[in-house]
Structure 1
Amino acid sequence: MESSVTYTETELVHGLLARDEKLFSYIYDLYSPALFGVISKVLNDNAAANDVLQEVFLKIWRNADTYNEQKGRLFTWMLNVARNTAIDLLRSKSFKQEQKTIYNTDDLHALKETTPVLPINDQLGFSQVLERLTKEQRQLIDLAYYKGCTQEEIARIMDVPLGTVKTRMRNAIQQLRTIINSTNL
């Protein structure tokens, strides 16, 4: 495929819905590095991330008709498919091993101390968007979206009330929306 060929988002969506293999290959080439970054950040295992990436693109191919442009951009929808698939795998592994994840206080503080607030490596500029958030907001996004923690778990990890986590998370997401809308990511 020629690297100089580009498509609009509308063309990509129509091609995906029409099961156009050439456009799907273009979508894969364009978005797989960013999606792989999200998946590998959630799983912290590149081999498993490669498998999940293939599963994600199968889901995208099979479920393209579930994409709703009124709810967001194609990349955002694909990012959610990738993140949710990775988190599902992460939770199923821990469920099979322990039935339920139980954190003790030492583990919570260790997770808080070792939780990176560095953004994912991507080609679409999302890492630059995350850099514009505060350190606290990046940590919230990292714990919720990349580590798959619930808000209750985040409250324990950060040692703050649940209501505070909900408010801070809402503010972080609103800030992300503002940044994304202003940069046309």
Structure 2
Amino acid sequence: MQPDLLITQLQDKNEKAFRRIYEMYSENVLGIIQTIVRDAELAEEVMQDVFIKVWNNATSYDASKGRFFTWILNIARNAAIDKTRSKAYKNKKQNHQASFFVDILEAKDSFVAKVDAIGIKKYIGKLKPVCKEIIELIFFKGYTHKETAEALTMPLGTVKTRNRNCIKELRAALNLT
């Protein structure tokens, strides 16, 4: 089937044309979305939203402004970026599941593997208050350095330096240096 005819049929709300377009482009769309959101399940959800937008907005496609494939990829890219900027996405990234920490604790090359999770809290408790805050935000809540700097109202470079120094202190306390 001619691509132009397929697009025209999609714009006329032909379900077979939509199915064919989905078959043609879904793999590439999913790849773009996964690259941005870095979560397979979430990428599938965003991809469904993208194809709903393609269905609902097909009449807004203008061949004189670019290729149909590029139009779909732009919708996918924008939807994925919007998802990563959403409050729900940020909260999900900051509030990791328990299995995330179990994997860290069980990793053989992790310094945390040398003590149990309760034991590490005891050592963190002995650190300076600023170290406790930084480690709590970065390692236990999943904040980025930038988000930590904003939460603690201190310069980004200061957060990075203090984080490095705090980790050195923690390793020394655990006799890992």
- Within 1, Cα distance between the matches of 2:9 and 2:64? 18
Match of 2:44 among 23, 41, 50: 50
- Seen in structure 2, the aligned counterparts of structure 1 residues 26 and 105 have a Cα distance that, compared at 3 Å, is farther
- Within 1, Cα distance between the matches of 2:157 and 2:65? 39
Aligned partners of 2:83 and 2:89 also within 8 Å = no
Q: CA deviation at 1:65?
A: 1.1
Match of 1:89 among 62, 78, 83: 83
Aligned partners of 2:47 and 2:76 also within 8 Å = yes
The CA deviation string for residues 136-183 of structure 1, in whole angstroms up to 9 with x for no partner, is xxxxxxxxxxxxxxxxxxxxxxxxxxxxxxxxxxxxxxxxxxxxxxxx
Bigger RCO (CA 8 Å, 6+ sep): 1
Give yes or no for the alignment of 1:35 onto 2:29.
yes
- Within 1, Cα distance between the matches of 2:60 and 2:50? 14
2:61 maps to: 67
Q: CA deviation at 1:93?
A: 3.5
- Within 2, Cα distance between the matches of 1:45 and 1:95? 10
Give yes or no for the alignment of 1:102 onto 2:146.
yes
- Seen in structure 2, the aligned counterparts of structure 1 residues 8 and 107 have a Cα distance that, compared at 3 Å, is farther
- Within 1, Cα distance between the matches of 2:5 and 2:158? 51
Match of 2:17 among 23, 33, 36: 23
RMSD across aligned positions (CA) = 2.8
- Within 2, Cα distance between the matches of 1:29 and 1:72? 21
- Within 2, Cα distance between the matches of 1:41 and 1:95? 15
- What is the 5 A alignment of 1:103-182? 104=156
Paired-residue identity, %: 40
- Within 2, Cα distance between the matches of 1:23 and 1:105? 53
- What is the 5 A alignment of 1:2-21? 7-21=1-15
- Within 1, Cα distance between the matches of 2:158 and 2:23? 42
- Within 1, Cα distance between the matches of 2:50 and 2:158? 35
Question: Greater share of helix residues, 1 or 2?
Answer: 2
Aligned residues: 101
Q: CA deviation at 1:9?
A: 2.0
- Seen in structure 2, the aligned counterparts of structure 1 residues 54 and 94 have a Cα distance that, compared at 3 Å, is closer
Which sections of structure 1, spanning at least 5 residues, go unmatched? Answer: 1-6, 109-185
Partner SS state of residue 86, structure 1: helix
Which sections of structure 2, spanning at least 5 residues, go unmatched? Answer: 95-144, 148-155, 161-177
The CA deviation string for residues 91-139 of structure 1, in whole angstroms up to 9 with x for no partner, is 11378649xx93645999xxxxxxxxxxxxxxxxxxxxxxxxxxxxxxx
Dislocated runs of 4+, deviation >4 Å: 94-98, 105-108
- Seen in structure 2, the aligned counterparts of structure 1 residues 96 and 72 have a Cα distance that, compared at 3 Å, is same
**Structure of higher CA gyration radius:** 2
Question: Which letter maps to 1:102?
Answer: K
